[in-house]
Chains A and B, each alone.
Chain A
């Protein structure tokens, strides 16, 4: 490559690295948090796109080198562009296929276990549970290494022997806490309940003060007299009676009357009987509307209800449940006395009931997670949630580290080209390779609070144990554990830099995900 081509590729690589590092920081937020499957899927698109660009950059460098060596203008710029785009697209699609393949490859047992793993992982993320064996550090999961552990936890937990048995007793509690978390905690529900009751009380007071059913027998003649008198008075101000309205003014008078009273279009100005009938119709219609005026929860509230009866009305209860996001079977009372009594009377039974129902999926036999089974889809979603984070992190790290090494190599090329004394230097690629080797060694030897914890050690051992005595399996397990260790340690070290790049260089670009406050 020429000096200028090398400089251009180096700049492109640096630009890509900024995006990749920033993405890596945000990816750790996603996979180490309680992101929904949709949010994970969304950020995956960015990840696959960046991986595609990474490969395209490598290819570009190779093509430029080949073009320089050929001494001709081959391959052409258009050809290079084509191959770069094609390679980026292929990588993008391949990664999608890889994830789908890994998810599809999971068996019913894996899906069932994944469900439990996700349950525990979510509980960890939300601080609803503490793991025995992990040092009691409340701030751990807010730190990069803690986030990395949360991201890797599912991958490691898959190998934990009899995981289901080990967490069986805690399942109901974890599910209950999850349900409570979705409800907004008991105190939060009670506050919402109190606000809803206050608003409902105001609504009730308006309802109570509203005029009762109209006595149509008395109301209609009164309104008829008033309306007719108003009509006569309006005409009288202009010196007219209905029979003396000049012909040219009759139309406008009729329009004015019709704006207030629903007389027919062909109504005669002196037709008092027709006028009165129209007023009667209007009064009846208004009375009918007034009778059904207060509609709560889609149901009309009958007049004259006391506070208790009003509160207990099906429409009011439906509205309350909707506002508090409670299921239909919950019946609320106008008062509970305290948040504790409310929790005891409403929240706890509700959470117990929902949790018991949800527990059925976790306790379901493996067969229910087979294709066509009752919990197949739920299990597959859980398996995806277990598989995607480490895969995404792995490829992100791979791209970042590989291009970091490549950038170092390109910078050395530029430096040797610019400094006459260095022009004789050869095998520059050894520098980035050495750097990678040194990094790998450093990451392998380094540790942090997570990797030093008893739980990590236990899970580490469980992964090895799960590999059995097969040499290939043990090699795979060791490779996995090494990779996980690198991620756990490397993310702890790299996250601050990556986050700095994301927030400062990319102006807080969020890749479509904003983590909820812890």
Chain B
């Protein structure tokens, strides 16, 4: 499989990790930003102009300046994969209070998505298969798919890989998950494809939690991602594998980018808060280590993010 982040996908598979590593070496002080300092920018749950995890939002990301679109997928009761982020439906859909696993495909077809202001739209909640089929092939775009489902069966995960392989044979997609066992299942079906492990940062989560929970943030510690941890990840999941970390985790592990570069592990960053904080954290990181991650999952537009990143 040749699905991998950004322009690396066009290169032969054996060179993949080396090219990904090269993407980590970006000079932050360069006056002209070639593709935002080489950073791949993925639209978080699709472009902000469309409803979260909707076909239109992904299409907008496809048509816009983003390098890809990040989406979240879960399974229905009948095993079909659909785009949805939350544990329960309601915040972004017409249907409320149910988990996707409770619904048959017939019911999912009747669900409509809400826009980012919470207003219901006429757009149907999408199936992953439909998205994969309808989204045009673009060699400059990549689909970043997070397997949101908790404890999915390997069979279900392998089903995703097989479906994507059929519908998007250009390989310009990759899968991520917070559970490395899920990634191991993916690896069985996809020996060469890039996989990303999402590292949840409890401290960052606590900071974004409601005010009464925020004191917890000081008590919990961000995960330690050292070289040994990265090597273990490579061993358990198999390369090419990367880590997708919160900027808080990145700040708590100042050597992460250097270690990842050394091991050829791509690093993507995300942030639960505004893009401005995200860009500021990366700028600080670049000043300290001279390195930037492979890519970032952003909520706004690439131009705005790059402007903020390039500020002195």
Could you tell me which A residues sit within 8 Å of B by CB distance? 225, 228-229, 232-233, 235-237, 239-244, 270
Whether A241 contacts B96 by the Cβ 8 Å rule is no
Residue of A nearest to B120 (CB): A229
Query: Which label, helix, strand, loop or mixed, suits the secondary structure of the A interface?
Result: helix
Whether B107 contacts A243 by the Cβ 8 Å rule is yes
Give every chain B residue within 8 A of A240 (Cβ-Cβ).
95
Cβ-defined partner of A242 (8 Å) among B103, B110, B121: B110
Query: Which label, helix, strand, loop or mixed, suits the secondary structure of the B interface?
Result: loop
Per the bound structure, the CA–CA distance linking A234 and B29 in Å amounts to 54
Flag whether B97 is at the interface (Cβ < 8 A). Answer: yes
Whether B120 contacts A232 by the Cβ 8 Å rule is yes
Flag whether B1 is at the interface (Cβ < 8 A). Answer: no
* Pairs across A and B, CB under 8 Å, 23 listed: A225-B122, A229-B94, A229-B112, A229-B121, A232-B95, A232-B110, A232-B120, A233-B94, A233-B120, A235-B94, A236-B89, A236-B90, A236-B93, A236-B94, A239-B96, A239-B97, A241-B95, A241-B107, A241-B108, A242-B110, A244-B103, A244-B104, A270-B110
CB distance from B244 to the nearest CB of A (A): 32
Give every chain B residue within 8 A of A235 (Cβ-Cβ).
94-95
Whether A228 contacts B96 by the Cβ 8 Å rule is no
Per the bound structure, the CA–CA distance linking A228 and B123 in Å amounts to 11
Whether B107 contacts A236 by the Cβ 8 Å rule is no
Give every chain A residue within 8 A of B19 (Cβ-Cβ).
none
Whether A243 contacts B106 by the Cβ 8 Å rule is yes
Give every chain A residue within 8 A of B89 (Cβ-Cβ).
236
CB distance from B88 to the nearest CB of A (A): 10
Whether B122 contacts A236 by the Cβ 8 Å rule is no
Whether B98 contacts A239 by the Cβ 8 Å rule is yes
Give every chain A residue within 8 A of B90 (Cβ-Cβ).
236
Whether A232 contacts B94 by the Cβ 8 Å rule is yes
CB distance from B260 to the nearest CB of A (A): 43
Per the bound structure, the CA–CA distance linking A267 and B107 in Å amounts to 18
Cβ-defined partner of B122 (8 Å) among A228, A241, A243, A244: A228
CB distance from A75 to the nearest CB of B (A): 99
Residue of A nearest to B121 (CB): A229
Known: A244-B103, A244-B104. 16 other contacts (CB 8 A): A229-B94, A232-B95, A232-B110, A232-B120, A235-B94, A235-B95, A236-B89, A236-B94, A236-B96, A236-B111, A239-B97, A241-B111, A243-B104, A243-B107, A243-B110, A270-B110
Residue of B nearest to A239 (CB): B97
Cβ-defined partner of B96 (8 Å) among A225, A229, A237, A270: A237
A241, A244, A270 pick with most chain B CB within 10 angstroms: A241
CB distance from B78 to the nearest CB of A (A): 13
Residue of B nearest to A272 (CB): B110
Per the bound structure, the CA–CA distance linking A233 and B110 in Å amounts to 11
Give every chain B residue within 8 A of A244 (Cβ-Cβ).
103-104, 107
